[in-house]
Chain A
Amino acid sequence: EPEVTQTPSHQVTQMGQEVILRCVPISNHLYFYWYRQILGQKVEFLVSFYNNEISEKSEIFDDQFSVERPDGSNFTLKIRSTKLEDSAMYFCASSEGYGNGEQYFGPGTRLTVT
């Protein structure tokens, strides 16, 4: 069964460093999403991406964040200068099409900023 994959599973970085989180969505999916979950809290939407453009972004997704689909398979989230409060689990998700409803989640990347 097709699945969303994410690498790395765990990333430790120092405050102020740049990190890139990688995701490979399901191959025929067109809509891509990033969510994050601070430990013990609910899952929060960061950004959605369609047709090589950001469709929607939340207040959390400020200028320190960017997303890119550099090739036909990868979908990346870059945090330019990490802060302690960026420590969280980051989930990538993809869906087949608008109105389909179901988003398939990857296993997540745990980001720890020290």
Chain B
Amino acid sequence: AQTVTQSQPEMSVQEAETVTLSCTYDTSESDYYLFWYKQPPSRQMILVIRQEAYKQQNATENRFSVNFQKAAKSFSLKISDSQLGDAAMYFCAYQEYGNKLVFGAGTILRVKS
């Protein structure tokens, strides 16, 4: 079964600084999607960024970018110019096409002003 591991239970970053959240996964498939979801205190699940495994280019969305290392099965999220509103739980998730999402345990991100 596919597994997703987030080794950092909690991270802190100073406002305007950069922080990287780590994620590794285990799969024998070659085609899949990877996602980062943000969960603020409201507990809404908000999609931050996604990466298709067949694309070598790393996805970016404004201040959010990923470092996708397929061979290493690593998918880290970089948040640049951190803002107070970025404080939340961040979940890494794996998906085979059309199937369920498999989530990691999450990383709590605290942003200090």
A interface residues (Cβ-Cβ under 8 A, vs B): 31, 33, 35, 37, 41-45, 48, 56, 58, 89, 91, 93, 95, 97-105, 107-108, 110
- Check B45 against A101 for contact (C-beta < 8 Å): no
Does B50 belong to the interface (CB within 8 Å)?
A: yes
Q: How many residues of B contact A (CB 8 A)?
A: 24
Select A98's contact among B37, B98, B102, beta carbons within 8 Å. Answer: B98
Given the complex, which residues of B lie within 8 Å of A93, measured CB to CB?
Answer: 45, 101
Binds A, one of B16-24, B60-68, B75-83, B103-111: B103-111
Contact with A along B62-96 (1 / 0, CB 8 A): 00000000000000000000000000000101010
Select A102's contact among B50, B102, B104, beta carbons within 8 Å. Answer: B50
Contacts A89-B43, A102-B47, A108-B44 given; indicate if A45 touches B102 (C-beta within 8 A). Answer: yes
Contact with A along B34-47 (1 / 0, CB 8 A): 01010000111111
**Complex Cα distance A91/B101, Å?**
12
